[in-house]
Amino acid sequence: MAPKKVMKSDAPLKRPKLTAKLDAKTFGRCYWEVKELTDFCREQGLSVTGLKADKARRVEIFLQSGRKEASSPRSSSSGSRDSALPGGITLKTPVRNYNNDAITRTFFQKHCGEGFRFNDYLRGFAKAVPKGKPVTYGDLVNGWKAAEDKRAHGMTRIGKQFEYNQFARDFFAANASSGRQDMMSAWKTVRSFQGPNTYKEYKKLQKRKAS
């Protein structure tokens, strides 16, 4: 009699603790809080400066190779930020020392609408202005609109650091009468496992639990 085949379990894997022994692939499949990343960086002697994405990149590089990456350079530009220029920012102003500050926000709200918010496209310029072809703030306005259009049509991958915001929006869209406590409970459930931290994944977990 032929032996029975053992079916490989497709049960979701629990999220492990963030330690120096964790492999980089598993790290990349999980959602990590800023505090977790910051604490790990301090424990391992890594830089804690920059955005959440910067810290996550340093941790991933460290787990892959043991290399301690230095903090990313802010910008090769020197001098005052563009928003402090006499006369302010215009569509023709060259981008030299970009900052996501209040004056810059006001400029973009004027040209992009009151619903404007800083996105990944603009955050890239806040880290460093690309070298090569000169870029104006008019180009940034057009680039922002193009990036938002892609996001609206689901053509942009959501960064790990924004998964919580997306989850909250999707949760309340499907559960209009629920409160924040319900959403947080659902979020803690989905982020406790490896894999996508989406509302769709949460529903899969709930379905599995009920079966």
What mean pLDDT, rounded, does the chain reach? 85
The full set of domain ranges for the chain reads 24-65, 82-152, 160-210
Banded model confidence at residue 75, pLDDT cuts 50, 70, 90: very low
Q: Can you give the pLDDT at residue 32?
A: 92
Q: Please give the share of the chain, as a percent, with pLDDT higher than 70.
A: 86
Tell me the pTM.
Answer: 0.58
Q: Check pLDDT > 70 for residue 50.
A: yes
Q: What local confidence, expressed as pLDDT, does residue 120 receive? A: 82
- Rounded CA-CA distance 123/181 in Å is 31
Task: Give CA angle at 136 (134, 138), nearest 5°.
Answer: 145
For 82-91, 159-168, 189-198, which range has the lowest pLDDT when averaged over its residues? 159-168
Q: What is the per-residue pLDDT across 76-130, written as a single tens digit (0 to 9) for each? A: 444 589 999 998 999 999 999 999 899 999 999 999 998 898 988 898 888 778 7
